[in-house]
Each structure stands twice: as C-alpha cells, then as structure tokens.
C-alpha cells in the first residue's frame, strides 16, 4: 500500500494531504471549527439525527418503519413508498402520514447545531435524506437545504396535465380529516413532494451541486 501511495504521489503529483484535525474526536472537530480555517461547512444527514426525536428509521429490526407496517396489509413493506402502488392505492400511505406527519415532533440538538453553523456564517449547505422537515423547523431555509428525498413542505397534483402546487397546511387538513387529498382543480391525487421509489431525485439535488465549493 505504501508503495502504491508513493507511486501515485510521484506520477500524479499527489502530495501528502494537509492535516485538518489535530485529533480525530469531537473535541478536534470543535477546535477546527473555532480555528478560523473552517468555512463552507456541508452537512450530509439521514434518519439517525431524527430518531431521538421519536421518528423511526426505516430498517432497524423491530423498531424500524418497515418492521411495523403489517396493519396496512401491504404486499411487501416497500410498497407503501412505491409510486405505482400509491397511484392505485393511496390509503396506506396517507394512514402512515397521519402517524408521522410534520409538526408532531421537535428538532433535536443535532438539527440546532446545523442551525448554529448557519448563524455563525459557516454553513454552506445541508443535504438531508429526511422528509420530516425538522431542519426547517429548526430554522433552516430552502436556500440552506437540499432535501434529497423530497419534503412534506409542499405537495403537487399528479394529474398528467395539472401539477397544481399545495402548501403544508392544505395537505395537513386533508390528512387529519381522513380524506384522500384530491386536486381542487382536476380532482386527481395530490402527493407530498417526497421521492417515492420509481421517481427521480428533485432537480435541486443536481442544480445545487454546481454551487457547492468548499
């Protein structure tokens, strides 16, 4: 391994990388943040920052979301987030949405740490896989975020020629009234802007890459 590292270093002009942390620990990270050398911090977060808020992750045995979906009578757990299944049978998804709906949980210390980085002028962007909107509740804005798996913050009609947009309060009222959300204009299904299996990632996921420069 040392031979290969030396070979690449000499042939490709790759030198020894500059040491960033004086110690590989939380304290070392803290000192780096305070050093003045740390700028344009990018966070990449997932379900782990929200489990302490009471939101289950997807795959933990016993406690994960997929392990507790039997009551929805699904052909297999992942079907609840498949776009084809949703179009044919949206009831299980919206029943689950009532249980996990944004506004029922509070941000964790991790969410507020990301907000602190923003207040200190250090945050470049937060990439999140979560759809719980807790980053927004903590105080981050659309400009701060790339919600890679989408968000409940907005919803859209999935009618072929419609695409009408709806805001969070509209969707919340429908879900907690036990109604399947239908478009006010064309009566097609309205789906929260979360990414289902079979859908593309949000366009912002790709466009924001161009502006990330650390």
**For 54-64, what is the mean pLDDT?**
65
CA pair distance 81, 68, nearest whole angstrom: 14
More confident residue, 107 or 70: 107
Look at residue 178 and tell me if it is in a domain: yes
Look at residue 189 and tell me if it is in a domain: yes
pLDDT digits (tens, 9 = 90+) for 10-28: 554 555 567 788 888 889 8
pTM: 0.78
Say which CATH number the domain at 58 has: 3.30.1600.10
Mean pLDDT of the residues in the chain: 85
The answer to whether 134 and 51 have CB atoms below 8 angstroms apart is: no
More confident residue, 53 or 119: 119
pLDDT digits (tens, 9 = 90+) for 198-213: 888 888 888 887 666 5
Catalytic residues: 149
Q: What's residue 181's pLDDT?
A: 96
Please give the order of strands across the beta sheet that includes 190-194: 165-167, 150-157, 190-194
Look at residue 130 and tell me if it is in a domain: yes
121: containing domain = 41-209
Q: What's residue 183's pLDDT?
A: 97
Number of domains, the chain: 1
Q: What's residue 211's pLDDT?
A: 67
Look at residue 204 and tell me if it is in a domain: yes
CA pair distance 96, 78, nearest whole angstrom: 13
Look at residue 135 and tell me if it is in a domain: yes
Q: Is 126 labeled as ligand-binding?
A: no
Q: What's residue 57's pLDDT?
A: 65
Q: Is 183 labeled as ligand-binding?
A: yes
pLDDT digits (tens, 9 = 90+) for 26-54: 898 889 988 888 888 999 999 889 888 88
Which pLDDT band holds residue 141 (cuts at 50, 70, 90)? very high
In this model, does residue 88 exceed pLDDT 80?
yes
Q: Is 110 labeled as ligand-binding?
A: no
Q: Is residue 141 classed as helix, strand or coil in its secondary structure? A: coil
Look at residue 81 and tell me if it is in a domain: yes
Residues 6 or more apart from 187 whose CB is under 8 A from it? none
Which pLDDT band holds residue 7 (cuts at 50, 70, 90)? very low
Q: What's residue 39's pLDDT?
A: 87
Look at residue 99 and tell me if it is in a domain: yes
DSSP 45-114: E-GGGTGGGT---SS-TTTSGGGG-GGG--SSGGGGGBHHHHHH--HHHHHHHHHH-TTSS---HHHHHH
CA pair distance 131, 153, nearest whole angstrom: 9
Look at residue 119 and tell me if it is in a domain: yes
Q: What's residue 62's pLDDT?
A: 58
Q: What's residue 67's pLDDT?
A: 60
């Amino acid at each position: 391994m040392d031979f290969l590292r030396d070979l690449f270093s000499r042939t490709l002009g790759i030198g020894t990388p500059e040491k960033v942390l004086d110690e590989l620990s939380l304290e070392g990270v803290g000192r780096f943040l305070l050093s003045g050398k740390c700028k344009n911090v990018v966070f990449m977060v997932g379900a782990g920052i929200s489990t302490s808020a009471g939101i289950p992750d997807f795959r933990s045995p016993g406690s994960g979301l997929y392990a507790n979906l039997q009551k929805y009578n699904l052909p297999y757990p992942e079907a609840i987030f498949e776009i084809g299944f949703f179009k044919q049978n949206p009831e299980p998804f919206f029943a689950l949405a009532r249980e996990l709906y944004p506004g029922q949980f509070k941000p964790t210390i991790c969410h507020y740490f990301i907000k602190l980085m923003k207040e200190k002028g250090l945050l470049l962007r937060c990439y999140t896989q979560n759809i719980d909107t807790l980053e927004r509740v903590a105080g981050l804005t659309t400009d701060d975020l790339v919600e890679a798996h989408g968000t409940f913050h907005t919803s859209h009609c999935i009618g072929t020629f419609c695409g009408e947009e709806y805001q969070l309060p509209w969707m919340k009222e429908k879900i907690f009234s036990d109604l399947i959300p239908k478009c006010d204009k064309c009566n097609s299904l309205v789906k929260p802007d979360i990414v289902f299996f079979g859908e593309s990632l949000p366009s912002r996921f790709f466009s924001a890459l161009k502006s990330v420069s650390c």
